Amino acid sequence: MLMPAFDYQRPSGLDEALGLLTQGGGEARPLAGGTDLLVNLKLGKQTCRLVVDLDGLDELKVAAGGPAEVCLGALITAAWLARQAGALGLSGLAEAGAALGSPQVRNRATIGGNLCTARPAGDLCTMLLALGAAAVLAGPGGERRVDLGEFFRGPGLTAMQPGELVSAAALTAAGPGRGSAFEKLGLRQAMEIALVSAAAWLELTPDGSGIQAGRVALGAVGPTPLLSTGAAHALAGQAADEATIAAAAKAAAADAKPIDDHRGSADYRRQMAEVLSRRALTRALAQAKSGREAQA
Amino acid sequence: MKKQAITLIINGREHDVLTAANRTLAQVLREDLGLTGAKQGCGVGDCGSCTVLLDGAPVNSCLVLAVQATGKAVTTIEGLADGAKLHPIQEAFVQHGAIQCGFCTPGMILSAKALLEEEASPDDARIRQALSGNLCRCTGYQKIVEAVDAAAKVMAGSKEVG
């Protein structure tokens, strides 16, 4: 399959990359893993006159973390997350990375690419949304952060301004008493766009007896990955038990806005949203509890 | 469109190539370098028949621009055999009936190689996961999985002896 002709630049730093994107205007596209851009160019879904290869931007490949916040560089791959995010305590993110595409795709697909492609079923998008992440954007005007709840505007649409790049995803660090998990349902077990996915995060109260706060994000049941306000309310301040999880899962499903499509019906998606939310919350809670016990 | 002069390192050898930027690694391997082991199946990263190893990691070469592979170590199926001596994975594929039409075979073997370099004794599920980006329309996968399992044992055995 052939691609249209384009010029190619490989900047060696972020400022140079931003300059090239601004110069190139709407026809300049950043290239990270290429698993979306190159596919779209081959299928004629996108046009491009200048490809700006970000591979030289080593600063975007770094995971920087402190006790409070973790900054995951936009060029970190799904494969890296699958292997290493668990060591950062972000097991849900490791699961999301492992669920994306195939081994070959995971070795190229990036956090920044997944966020910018902004599909409602985006695996990393949905998990990062549940983790309360913000997109760190670099642009001609400087750096800014946009919470992912505001970042996704519609299928394939984001809050990015022309000339901006996602440089990182910033999120609260993992810790004892915090847990996360990702569940993905598809028609096949790999190389699949989610029929429904559920990403859960929660944090126990300091004495471990209850849930301080929690989030459930659902993929593929709305125009963007959806953060369930109902689930968050059903978790905050409640007992850390099965009954709470069941109620939160039900609330999450109620917030879903699925449609019928060739993968499945809206009705089935809504039912599965509840099942997956319950599974994800159950595992997130188990992680939070065991982390706390390990610390005690 | 201006051509770029790049140096590709394929199976340990340097190749100087002049290519337009919009050509993929798959195209350059096949059309410029005559390395037709990597196949063009779907062209969009779904089937894995174009799989090569990039710095040891399996990738769909149809989704890597040739210019992106500059300076990286590319391993193709042609780089596995040692002269006439097949790599243990290749040998196992032959012995276990894991090859029918052969179209998926180079990709399968390279994905398996990457797996076995990371994990010496993967179980069935792990083998299937590692090959989940490689489609086969002929075999039904069973013989392929058995071949990888057999190759793992041979490779582990060699390591113990050597």
Is residue B161 over pLDDT 50? no
Give the pLDDT confidence score for residue A294 in this predicted structure.
Answer: 76
Q: Which residue, among A105, A229, A123, A115, has the nearest Cα to A185 in the 3D structure?
A: A123
Instruction: State how far the Cα of B137 lies from the Cα of A217, in Å rounded to an integer.
Output: 37
- Mean confidence (pLDDT) of chain B: 96
Crossing angle of the two packed helices A266-295 and A91-99, in degrees rounded to 10: 140
Q: Report yes or no: A59 at the B interface, CB cutoff 8 Å.
A: no
Model pLDDT for residues A168-219, shown as the tens digit of each residue: 999 999 999 999 999 999 999 999 999 999 999 999 999 998 999 999 999 9
Give the pLDDT confidence score for residue B2 in this predicted structure.
Answer: 87
Task: Taking residues A271-278, report their average pLDDT.
Answer: 98
**Chain B contact probe: residue of A54, A104, A188 with most B CBs at under 10 A:** A104
Task: Taking residues B8-21, report their average pLDDT.
Answer: 98
Helical (H) or strand (E) element with B96 = none
The answer to whether A174 and A147 have CB atoms below 8 angstroms apart is: no
In sign, the C-alpha dihedral spanning A93, A285, A202, A276 is positive
Give the pLDDT confidence score for residue B159 in this predicted structure.
Answer: 57
The answer to whether B75 and B87 have CB atoms below 8 angstroms apart is: no
Nearest C-alpha of chain B: how many angstroms from A32?
A: 10
Which one-letter DSSP state was computed for residue B62? G
Nearest C-alpha of chain B: how many angstroms from A156?
A: 19
Model pLDDT for residues A12-32, shown as the tens digit of each residue: 999 999 999 999 998 999 999
Give the pLDDT confidence score for residue A66 in this predicted structure.
Answer: 87
Nearest C-alpha of chain A: how many angstroms from B133?
A: 5
Q: Report yes or no: A267 at the B interface, CB cutoff 8 Å.
A: no
- Say which residues have a Cβ less than 8 Å from residue A147's Cβ, sequence separation at least 6: A132, A133, A134, A135
Task: Taking residues B111-116, report their average pLDDT.
Answer: 98
Q: Report yes or no: A209 at the B interface, CB cutoff 8 Å.
A: no
Of all residues in chain A, the one with the smallest CA distance to B59 is A104
Give the pLDDT confidence score for residue A205 in this predicted structure.
Answer: 97
Instruction: State how far the Cα of B113 lies from the Cα of B145, in Å rounded to an integer.
Output: 13
Question: Cα angle at B66 between A10 and B108, to 5 degrees?
Answer: 130
The answer to whether A138 and A18 have CB atoms below 8 angstroms apart is: yes
| Residues written for chain B | 162
CA dihedral defined by A280, A286, A288, A291, rounded to 10 degrees?
Answer: -140
Q: Report yes or no: B2 at the A interface, CB cutoff 8 Å.
A: yes
Is residue B162 over pLDDT 60? no
Q: Which residue from A2, A6, A35 is facing B63, i.e. has the nearest CB?
A: A35
Q: Which residue, among B159, B85, B22, has the nearest Cα to A42 in the 3D structure?
A: B22
Q: Report yes or no: A101 at the B interface, CB cutoff 8 Å.
A: yes
Q: Report yes or no: B73 at the A interface, CB cutoff 8 Å.
A: no
Which one-letter DSSP state was computed for residue A264? B
B144 three-class SS: helix
* Whole-number percent of chain B with pLDDT over 90: 95
